[in-house]
């Protein structure tokens, strides 16, 4: 899906440079899935037979983290991709707007 968004953005930028104007890129996940099925790039029978099996295709439990917030304990999921040189870090987890205490810098 991301590659189609990138291609759409590049086509829109090229068209803007030639013709001018502005363009919106819209992508449908359903239409993309149907297109891939029509092209024969996706083997539905294989996907159904392999889904959830052990090894590379197992459903993994999410990595969770906990943090104390102004509204109490918060538990959330970490990034789905783990990078060796840039580990994920959540200095400030998502909190509701206006829930932090007021502070004035001196």
Domain ranges for the chain, please list them.
2-57
Reported as type and span, the H/E element at residue 46 is: helix 44-50
Most confident of 4-13, 32-41, 48-57: 4-13
Position 3 scores a pLDDT of: 82
Query: Cα–Cα distance between 98 and 105 in angstroms, integer?
Result: 18
Position 90 scores a pLDDT of: 62
Mean pLDDT of 2-22: 91
What is the CB neighbour count within 10 angstroms for residue 15? Answer: 13
Whether the model clears a pTM of 0.85, i.e. scores above it, the answer is: no
């Amino acid at each position: 899906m991301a590659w189609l968004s990138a291609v759409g953005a590049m086509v829109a930028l090229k068209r803007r440079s030639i013709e001018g104007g502005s363009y919106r890129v819209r992508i449908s996940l359903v239409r993309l899935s149907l297109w891939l099925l029509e092209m024969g790039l996706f083997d539905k029978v294989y996907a159904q037979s392999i889904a959830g099996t052990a090894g590379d295709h197992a459903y993994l439990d999410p990595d969770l983290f906990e943090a104390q917030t102004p509204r109490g304990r918060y538990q959330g999921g970490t990034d789905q991709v783990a990078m060796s040189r840039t580990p994920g870090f959540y200095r400030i987890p998502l909190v509701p707007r206006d829930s932090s205490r007021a502070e004035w810098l001196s």
